[in-house]
Chains A and B, each alone.
Chain A
Amino acid sequence: MTTQPDTSAAPKQTGFAATDVLVNEFDGGPDTVQRALSTSDELQPHTELGLKDDEYDRIRQILGRRPTASELAMYSIMWSEHCSYKSSKVHLRQFGDKAPRGTRMLAGIGENAGVVQISDELAVTFKVESHNHPSFVEPYQGAATGVGGIVRDILAMGARPIAVMDPLRFGAADHPDTARVLPGVVAGIGGYGNCLGLPNIGGEIVFDPTYQGNPLVNALSIGVLPVERLQHKEAAGVGNVVVLLGARTGRDGIGGVSVLASATFDEGAEQRRPSVQVGDPFMEKLLIESCLELYDAGLVAGIQDLGGAGLTCALTETAAAAGTGMRVWLERVPLREASMSPTEILASESQERMLLIVTPENLDRVLTVAEKWGVWATAIGEVTPAGEDGSPGRLVITWNDHVVVDVPPGSLADDGPVYARPIREPADLILLQADKAETLPRPSTGDELRETVLRMIASPNLCDKTWVTEQYDRYVLGNTVLAQPEDSGVLRIDERTGLGVALSVDGNGRFARLDPYEGARLALAEAYRNVAVTGAEPVAVTDCLNFGSPEDPAVMWQFAEAVRGLADGCQQLGTPVTGGNVSFYNQTGAAAIHPTPVVGVLGVFDDVARRIPMGFPAGSEGDLVYLLGETSCELSGSEWAWVTHGHLGGRPPKVDLEKERRLAMLMARASQAGHVSAAHDLSDGGLAQVLVESCLRRNVGVTVSLPDDGQSAFVHLFSESAGRALVAVPRGHDKAFAALAGEYGVPCVQLGATSAEPVLEVRDQFSIPLDEARTAHEATLPALFGGTAELANRHGDPEHAADPSAPAGSDRGDEVLIAGASGAAMESAAPIEADGTSAASASEAKDSTPGGPIA
């Protein structure tokens, strides 16, 4: 149904936990269907559960009675914004309508994750999802279970998960609450992903005050599967057994999707902690291994992961997809707490669980595999037939012989409300776009430019992110070819053939704020270009659309524009959107975040050995350095405008996707021919940033002259025009490369060459020794988040040793810790030592209560 939304103000939801409305369930036994029939006028707390009056009326209409307490909870969950996509559905249809033809997609939107065929035998599945609100409430567990959830989506498609990436956005880097949220989020991602044995190969770390009360923690995972192992979620086959596999069910995460993900934060945020799930990566690892063994033995007829909305979602979606019914005995579900009510069992979002559909004759073998891996497996129900008239079956759930649920599963999974919400361009947009950054005062002399470069590379968004990324395992599984800080994560998929993939995930909330249509296309272009510069062929897209409240017409306009931009862009580039996630209600009070579409692009290598890294190669003799693409004076929304003027206004850079496509084709050909030794995409911070990063990666200097084409040196260094890349070409390949660029119509101008001296020299302007650049680039995050624990270590002070039994007076104590590259960074972090309160260690973050460390 399509209705206009109820525009009357929703009652304020404070301190809500789903249990509030469930506490009376045991007075006189659970609320049963029979009781619902006899007490049809009983008042029900539907508004507290997030259901509008007309939605509640529709539930009564579907059932022909009032819902039971369990049914009401199930509808509130499945019809929540998070599960039903009720505000976004009408827009997301464009991804299907505008999908390019003739792609390699085997499964797309609507599945747990999109699947793309990459060879005759193999396919990959990948998807990005948000876990924003839980990660603000409880950073460690919120971020950890975000990883766990996306990995189970990948697993449910029949794939072995092989990597994760994390696009992260926080408030201002120096805000006290960022010191609470960031270390916890990073430790949570590492704590879960590392223990799961998945390399973390990339992502983003962005700071902006717009995310202060609402950080964005998005998680991407990728998996690989033999094409014939693709799994389906249909609960087909009447008489088949419904098996719950994995962790026992507890009270954690109840109401997570409807409470956390589908409402705006207010002052009661800290009371919502019971809504955050708690993760156990060890259990998830066992779940992965047991599922893969079950797939390979052909024992699975259908499978669905339990994530947001728990059993409710898995039971209704598997039954609805097959059109069958299902009979479930809820008392069979293994519980962590015996006192859980049927509604709690249905609503729990306990992690590390999967729902399997298996044939009765395979049940014993399934249980044997589960036992081998030490995982709980319990037959909790069976698939029942559709109606004799062809109507879909019913989902009937009992709890100790009480019928607590009797519903058509499709009414929950597919027939939720759909809203065409009002849309209105933000009133301030015209003024914002008129306030251009191109008119701001600029540095002009060589000395001023030099100072600006050093300031920019030390700014939180452009600085070195090693403090974060070295908390992630990038080596496990032994197939990581490139990982952060490279433009893309690159993985070998097949050791025999060298088949591989490249993945990049990008977004720019400032650009999208200035123009959401162009902002979405710019995010797509950047991720596409990041994949392309490695030499891979970009083939498919996933997206995570982070926006404010859909009930705000201005936000809804931003959303509609961004979706339209992304759908148009994907159509033009021939890369289909295979799946993704919408995250609404990212706002604090009335202030929405910048609209932040985050786009992931997957590329394919026939042979991953030809990947192009970002850093200038060490030991080569003066590789020639070229700039590809055209530079215009485009400074609005740029890092430069933000860092040096705190300015956001104007229109974002123009993006020409045809030029991006030609650049990608050039890079693929050049990679095949071995013409390029290094390549780095130009985006945030422009050419200056790319020169510094390309030099520092292998400590190789470069001497360049800026083109004499009428643009100032400043514009060349800091403009953020799209469609550009910096490449290094070994001598002897330069003519062939230039000819190839001409063939694809990509502007190509030689800037200079790499040098033996470890210096970045911009002729006629300035030069910066790489040691100086490195110090500036690497000091920022340790100074902000390093804390006293690392400094204690630096001095090798046995008083601060982690183990009190460790003997004092180690004769090598003064050598302990950190020399080499990061030594300078630690020096710069030293002033923190005086202020012991800034310690933000992983263990403290893990145990902290929200708001605690702010004090």
Chain B
Amino acid sequence: MRIGVVTFPGSLDDGDAARAARIAGADVVRLWHGDPDLHGVDAVVLPGGFSYGDALRCGAIARFAPAMDSIVDAARGGLPVLGICNGFQILCEAHLLPGALTRNQHLHFRNRDQFLRVESTDTAWTNSFTAGQEILIPVKNGEGCYVADQRTLDQLEAEGRVVARYIRGNPNGSQRDIAAITNEAGNVVGIMPHPEHAVEALTGPSLDGLGFFTSVLRALAGSSAGANAGGHQ
């Protein structure tokens, strides 16, 4: 399975996302923001960082990159896409996910090891977790406060599209403690914390992040065997 990791100018965790995918057992293809060719990858990760220096708004410019045109089209066709941190912000700007990530309520950048509860395992990126599972992965952002209008939030809840919530403390003031959400089909997931930083005992607080990458490999294996293309179990 080939997982593409996109590098925008200002991407910072692209190497880490590639390492995590590799550890999970994927072949990694590095994609360049200016190249619309996705080189036949089976899934895409939009990594963390400060694409275009967060000019205008986080993710606002990256959304217009030639690679994003292809990714948006492919995602609508079922391609699994995971946006981490800045990648989540880009997915919101690209309207693949609803809502927006705003300045942390306390106005500081905050980096800590964060407990999450996995709320939905019906996505391409979380199917190897169990519902309600508590996991520990690092959070690090200055603009990670998830906001949406009340109706959207209610809809996300009702449709089981809140993928993970902050527990034992909300690090940024996100509404309803939302840490990760998915689209209707379950193939596009945006997550503010960084699963790619919790894949090795030597460098991470846990190995819990690996589940996101093994999930997509499982979803892809399932879909190539004729299962639901969106990765639903």
Contacts and interface: CB of A to CB of B under 8 A. Distances in A.
Interface string B12-30: 1101100100000000000
Contact of A281 (B53, B109, B145, B204): B53
Interface in B204-233: 204
A195 interface: yes
A803 B102 contact: yes
**Which interface residue of B15, B55, B153, B203 has the most chain A CB atoms within 10 A?**
B203
B61 to A, nearest CB: 11
B202 A806 contact: no
Nearest to B16: A478
Contact of A803 (B110, B138, B147): B147
B176 interface: yes
A476 B196 CA distance: 10
B134 interface: no
Contacts of A806: 102, 147, 175
Interface stretch (B65-73, B120-128, B165-173): B165-173
B53 A282 contact: yes
Interface string B171-185: 101011100000000
Interface in A807-822: 807, 810-812, 815-820, 822
B168 to A, nearest CB: 4
Contacts of B12: 195-197, 285, 476
B70 to A, nearest CB: 19
A373 B13 contact: no
A471 B105 contact: no
Nearest to A183: B108
B53 A280 contact: yes
B77 interface: no
Given A197-B12, A282-B10, A476-B13, A190 B109 contact: yes
A817 B49 CA distance: 24
A120 B156 CA distance: 55
Given A281-B53, A475-B138, A802-B102, A816 B111 contact: no
Interface residues of A, number: 58
A817 B53 contact: no
Interface string B127-153: 000000000001010100101011001
A721 interface: no
B157 to A, nearest CB: 10
Nearest to A791: B106
A66 to B, nearest CB: 45
Contacts of A476: 12-13, 16, 48, 140
**Which interface residue of B107, B153, B170, B171 has the most chain A CB atoms within 10 A?**
B107
A816 B173 contact: yes
A802 B50 contact: no
A190 B9 CA distance: 19
Contacts of A373: 9
A478 B197 contact: yes
B103 interface: yes
Given A803-B147, A806-B175, A473 B140 contact: yes
A191 interface: yes
B231 to A, nearest CB: 26
Nearest to B13: A476
Interface in A253-296: 280-283, 285-286
A286 B12 CA distance: 11
Contacts of A374: 9
Interface stretch (A419-427, A445-453, A560-568, A792-800): A792-800
A289 to B, nearest CB: 8
Contacts of B196: 478
B63 interface: no
Interface of B: 9-10, 12-13, 15-16, 19, 48-50, 52-55, 100, 102-112, 115, 138, 140, 142, 145, 147, 149-150, 153, 168-171, 173, 175-177, 194, 196-197, 200, 202-204
Given A194-B142, A285-B12, 5 more contacts: A281-B50, A801-B105, A801-B173, A842-B107, A843-B107
Closest 5 CB pairs of A and B: A282-B53, A197-B12, A478-B16, A841-B107, A793-B105
